């Protein structure tokens, strides 16, 4: 990592308090999250780690407003997400969250420009502005000459850059990346991580969900999950982002 500069974190953006999530699987109830509390401020670069089955994906779905908790409270920029209906959640996702997926999830038959325009379509932006903004963001991620390429005409790294451009285009509060390098070779993966670093330096808030330690080390703060609880959280820089003591004790107790 070229620069390990830690930027000053801003006000609290995500405030999760004691959320749980239960799934019914046949006759069994699976407690994916057993009471997680977490605060994320703007301008943070945070990695959520944990083995499979730790509740990492479930937490990511909660953070990304793709799902609502069974119990507990989730506030996003002061708005209570836990009580929102599907369409309100869709609006939050559209405006506040930029998703980056492991499998890129680009529309296969649409060119880069059209793919990046997609969130703006759902935001109801007029076609000219849309085009202009999508082209600019693609320029920013180094794909200014690939606007009319379809995903199958692009390399894996380029596809992920298109996906990142798509995540950025509606100027979201956070970028939520789920194993963004999982389908890439390590060299390309490092390039993508460099891009995230760059975005962080430019003031974006990034949440990275991964099980790879050498990817997670790019983040400034790491949260470890195990069995649906937070096992550790090193977000103790500048006295911000630290969990309340009792939560840490509880997490320790489950080890």
Partner 1 sequence: MKRFAYELTESWKIAVAQMRSNKTRSTLTALGVIIGIVAVTLMGTAIAGIQIGFDKSMAVFGDDVLYVEQWPWKPVDDWWNYRDRKKIKTEYAEPINRIIAATPNSNLVEAVPTSSLIRSVKYADNEVSNVLIRGTVSDYLITSTFDFKEGRFFNELESRGGANVCVIGYDVADALFPSDSPIEKSVLINGQPFKVIGVIARQGTFLGLFSLDAIVVMPLPAFQKYFSAKSDSDILVKVKDKTRLAEARDELTGIIRRVRALPPEKKDDFSINEQQALKSTLDPIKNSIAIAGLFITGLSLFVGAIGIMNITFVSVKERTREIGTRKALGARRRTILLQFLIESTALCLLGGFIGLTVAYFTCTGIGKAFPSFPIHFSLGLVFVSMIVSILTGLFSGFAPAWTASRLDPVAALRYE
Binding residues for partner 1, per CB under 8 A?
Answer: 61, 64, 66-67, 86-87, 90-91, 93-95, 99, 101, 105, 107, 109-110, 118-119, 121-124, 166, 170
Nearer to partner 1, 44 or 178 (CB): 178
Q: How far apart are CA 235 and CA 211, in angstroms?
A: 18
Identity of the residue, 9 or 100, whose beta carbon is nearer to partner 1 in the bound complex: 100
Closest CA to 142 of 112, 114, 115: 112
Min CB(107)–partner 1 separation in Å: 6
Strand-pair category, 28-41 with 205-210:
unpaired
| Residue closer to partner 1, measured from CB, 1 or 121 | 121
Nearest distance from C-beta of residue 196 to partner 1, angstroms:
19
* Shortest Å, Cβ 140 to partner 1: 18
Residue closer to partner 1 by CB (options 25, 255) is 25
Interatomic CA distance for residues 157 and 142, integer angstroms: 11
Q: Whole-number minimum distance, CB 93 to partner 1, in Å?
A: 5
Q: What span, in angstroms and rounded, lies between the C-alpha atoms of 112 and 153?
A: 10
Least distance (Å) between residue 127 CB and partner 1: 9
Q: In whole angstroms, how close is the CB of 76 to partner 1 at the nearest point?
A: 14
C-alpha span between 121 and 117 (Å, rounded):
6
Quote the distance between the C-alpha of residue 30 and its chain's center: 24
The side-by-side arrangement of strands in the sheet containing 97-100 is 97-100, 174-178, 205-210, 45-49, 221-226, 229-233
CB count in 10 Å sphere of residue 139: 13
Task: Considering the complex, state which of residue 50 and residue 119 has its C-beta at the smaller distance from partner 1.
Answer: 119
Q: Strands 205-210 and 45-49, how do they pair?
A: parallel
Q: Of the two residues 208 and 243, which places its CB atom closer to partner 1 in the complex?
A: 208
């Amino acid at each position: 990592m070229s620069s390990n500069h830690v930027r000053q974190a801003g006000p609290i953006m995500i405030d999760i308090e004691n959320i749980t999530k239960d799934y019914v699987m046949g006759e069994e109830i699976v407690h994916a999250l057993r009471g997680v509390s977490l605060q994320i401020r703007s301008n943070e670069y945070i990695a959520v780690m944990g083995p499979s089955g730790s509740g990492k994906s479930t937490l990511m779905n909660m953070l990304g407003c793709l799902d609502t908790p069974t119990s507990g409270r989730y506030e996003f920029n002061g708005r209570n997400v836990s009580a929102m209906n599907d369409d309100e959640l869709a609006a939050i996702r559209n405006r506040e969250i930029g998703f980056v997926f492991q499998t890129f999830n680009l529309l296969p038959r649409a060119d880069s420009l059209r793919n990046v325009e997609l969130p703006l379509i759902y935001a109801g932006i007029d076609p000219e502005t849309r085009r202009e903004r999508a082209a600019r963001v693609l320029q920013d991620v180094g794909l200014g000459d690939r606007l009319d390429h379809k995903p199958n005409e692009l390399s894996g790294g380029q596809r992920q850059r298109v996906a990142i451009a798509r995540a950025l285009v509606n100027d979201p509060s956070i970028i939520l990346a789920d194993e963004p390098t999982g389908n890439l070779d390590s060299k390309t993966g490092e390039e993508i991580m460099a891009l995230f670093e760059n975005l962080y330096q430019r003031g974006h808030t990034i949440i990275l969900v991964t099980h790879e330690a050498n990817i997670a080390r790019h983040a400034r703060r790491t949260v470890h999950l195990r069995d649906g609880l937070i096992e550790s959280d090193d977000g103790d820089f500048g006295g911000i982002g630290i969990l309340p003591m009792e939560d840490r004790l509880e997490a320790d107790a489950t080890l």
